[in-house]
Structure 1
Amino acid sequence: MKTSTSEGKHGIQWTARNHLDDLDFADDLALLSRSIIDEHGSSDADVKARIGKTRTAFLQLKNIWNSKQLSTNIKVRIFNTNVKAVLLYGAETWRTTTTIIKKVQVFINSCLRKILNIHWPDTISNSLLWERTNQLPAEEEIRKR
C-alpha cells in the first residue's frame, strides 16, 4: 500500500492507494464471532485463545474460589455460569478432535481441583472429581451444544 500526505490550505490530507499485488493472504481467519480458524480448518488456535480468556475470567474470581463462606455447590454453580460459559462459547463451531477435547478437559479439571482445594500430591480420579462437582465430561458438554 502506498501512502502520501500533503499539507495545504485545507489542512493535512492523507491518501492511500491499494494495489492487488500489495495484499497478502492471511494464514488464519477470524470470523465475526471471533473464532480463529487456520488455513487447514483447525480450531486449535481458537481453543488456545478461548482457554486464555477463560483463565483470565477464572483468576478474576479468585476471591470466590478461596472463600470459606461459600459452599462448594455455590462455587461450582458460579464456575459453570461465569467460567465454563466463556470457555465453551462458540464450541459448536470447533472441529472437535481428541486433542482439543483433552485441552478443554484438562483446563476444566484444573479449575475444579482449585475450587475443591485439591493440590498436588493429593490426587483424586477425574471421575470422582466430576461426581463431586456434578459435572459432565467436556466431550459431552461440547456435543450438547
Structure 2
Amino acid sequence: MPPRNFGRDAERASKRASKAAFEEVVDERWQMPDDAPVDEEVERWIESAETRVTHRTVRYRENRRVADYAFVHEICLNGSWVEIAKIDCAHGEVHKHWPPPDESGRLQRIVILPIYLQEDVEKTYQDSLNEIYDNLEENERKWRDGR
C-alpha cells in the first residue's frame, strides 16, 4: 500500500523538478552584457493629446544590431499618461503586456518568444512594432471596456 500522502508528495516533487528545470533553462537565456557598448534611441512616432507610442531601441555601437527594445502604447487619462499595451524584451523573453487589465489594473503578460540568442531579439523587432500599431484602436477599446 502506498504511503498516505503519496499523491501530494509526488505532486510536490514534480513541481520542484519543474521549477529546477525552468531555472536551468532561464539561466541559458541570452542577455545583453552589462558592459556592452550600446546606444539607446527613444522616439515617439505617434503623439497627440490623447495617445502616444514610444519606441525604445538599444543598438550595439559597432554593428548597429538591435540588442533590446520596448514599444509602449499610452493614452492620456485625466491628465496623466497610462500604459495600455507594451511589447518588450525584459526577463530573457520577448513578451507583451496586453489589455484588458485584471482586477488589480495589471495588463496580461503574454510570452512571444524566449530569448536564447541576440538574433531572437532582432527577428521579433519588426513584428512587435507592427503588432503595437496594428492593434492601437482594439487595445484602447479593450483597456477602456475591460474585455
Specify the TM-score bucket, using the shorter chain as the normaliser.
under 0.3
Compare the two structures and name the one with the higher helix fraction. 1
Q: TM-score, normalised by structure 1?
A: 0.22
Task: Calculate the TM-score normalised by the size of structure 2.
Answer: 0.22
Q: Which has the larger radius of gyration?
A: 1
More strand by share: 2
